[in-house]
């Protein structure tokens, strides 16, 4: 078994981003210490100016960019679902074992989720780039700066802060959850509560919350990588 682990090819991670990429940076920095051998093999952004693309390039990681509106403009007649499927095809070309949404600010529809949940049929484009031995479904996880069911969607940090200032909340948190069609409703993988502090400004609170995010995204990725390695090992035996 030990030999197998030593000869095991590194697991392949694709990270989807839209912004500054501080959580991506946490994953980049954590690569040498992942409990399973794993590497980030692609960073894909839906925003051209995302600084996370710079972080990836500086780390020698391949990058890609595809935004919804330019895609629709360049492909008259195509839909949001077609865009989501194109994102999936780009992701699948990297033969991922795990997809991490790290500040990815686009709700992924069935066009994406369907293609990562099952092997491609022989006639589908992805069949050319992903081996028939690839294990499906490919897990996808998302980092969200709120507790399960609390502030789904965007601006979760602002909304939690407003609730605290209104006196209706004394803590919030961050979580990493599995990605399902309903936004932020997937099974939580890791949840960390964060109490508010009276002496803190909003900026100080956000800085503390982001620090927790950087820990949680690495820990959750480790957890799913371990699960994935077990799946792949069972399938190979
Ligand atoms: N199918 C899923 N897709 C995504 C999930 C998910 O759980 N299931 N998580 C989100 C991340 N996210 C919150 O954690 C989130 C991001 C963006 C939005 C949203 O409303 N986006 C708008 C566009 C907003 C913008 O461009 O600024 C949209 O997609 O139309 C909601 C939740 C990632 N995807
Ligand atoms: N709903 C999803 C969401 O709000 N995600 C949030 O986007 C930020 C990305 O920061 P980063 O680009 O520096 O990693 C993070 O705070 C993450 O929780």
Find the 216 Cα to ligand 2 centroid distance in Å.
Answer: 12
Please give the CATH architecture assigned to the domain spanning 12-144+209-236. 3-Layer(aba) Sandwich (3.40)
What is the pTM assigned to this prediction? 0.96
- For the Cβ of 17 lying below 6 angstroms from any atom of ligand 1, the answer is no
Per-residue confidence (pLDDT) for residue 170, from 0 to 100:
98
* Closest protein CA for atom 10 of ligand 2: 103
The residues annotated as belonging to the active site are 144
Q: Which ligand is nearest to the CA of 108?
A: 1
CA distance 215 to 26: 8
Instruction: Write the DSSP symbol of residue 50.
Output: -
Contact between residue 104 and residue 18 where contact means Cβ atoms under 8 Å apart: yes
ipTM rounded to 2 decimals? 0.97
Contact between residue 112 and residue 70 where contact means Cβ atoms under 8 Å apart: no
Ranges of residues in the chain with a pLDDT under 50 are 1-3
Find the 144 Cα to ligand 1 centroid distance in Å.
Answer: 10
Q: What is the pLDDT of the chain when averaged over all its residues?
A: 95
- For the Cβ of 190 lying below 6 angstroms from any atom of ligand 1, the answer is no
* 17-26 pLDDT per residue, tens: 999 999 999 9
Burial per residue of 58-71, b for 16 or more beta-carbon CB atoms within 10 angstroms, e otherwise: eeebebbebeeeeb
């Amino acid at each position: 078994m030990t030999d197998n682990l030593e000869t095991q090819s590194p697991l392949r991670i694709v990270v989807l981003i839209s912004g500054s990429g501080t959580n991506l940076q946490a994953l980049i920095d954590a690569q040498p210490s992942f409990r399973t051998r794993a590497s980030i093999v692609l960073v894909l952004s839906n925003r051209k100016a995302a600084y996370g693309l710079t972080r990836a390039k500086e780390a020698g990681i391949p990058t890609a960019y595809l935004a919804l509106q330019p895609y629709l403009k360049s492909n008259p007649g195509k839909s949001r679902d077609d865009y989501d499927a194109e994102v999936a095809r780009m992701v699948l070309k990297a033969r991922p074992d795990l997809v991490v949404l790290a500040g990815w600010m686009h709700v992924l529809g069935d066009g994406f989720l369907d293609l990562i949940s099952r092997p491609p049929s022989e006639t589908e484009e992805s069949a050319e780039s992903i081996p028939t031995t690839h294990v499906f479904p490919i897990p996808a996880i998302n980092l969200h700066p709120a507790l399960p069911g609390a502030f789904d969607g965007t601006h979760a940090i602002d909304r939690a802060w407003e609730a605290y200032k209104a006196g209706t909340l004394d803590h919030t948190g961050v979580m990493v959850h599995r990605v399902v069609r309903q936004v932020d409703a997937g099974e939580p993988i890791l949840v960390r509560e964060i109490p508010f502090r009276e002496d803190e400004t909003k900026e100080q609170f956000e800085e503390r919350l982001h620090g927790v995010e950087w820990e949680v995204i690495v820990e959750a990725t480790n957890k799913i990588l371990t699960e994935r390695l077990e799946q792949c090992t069972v399938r190979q035996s």
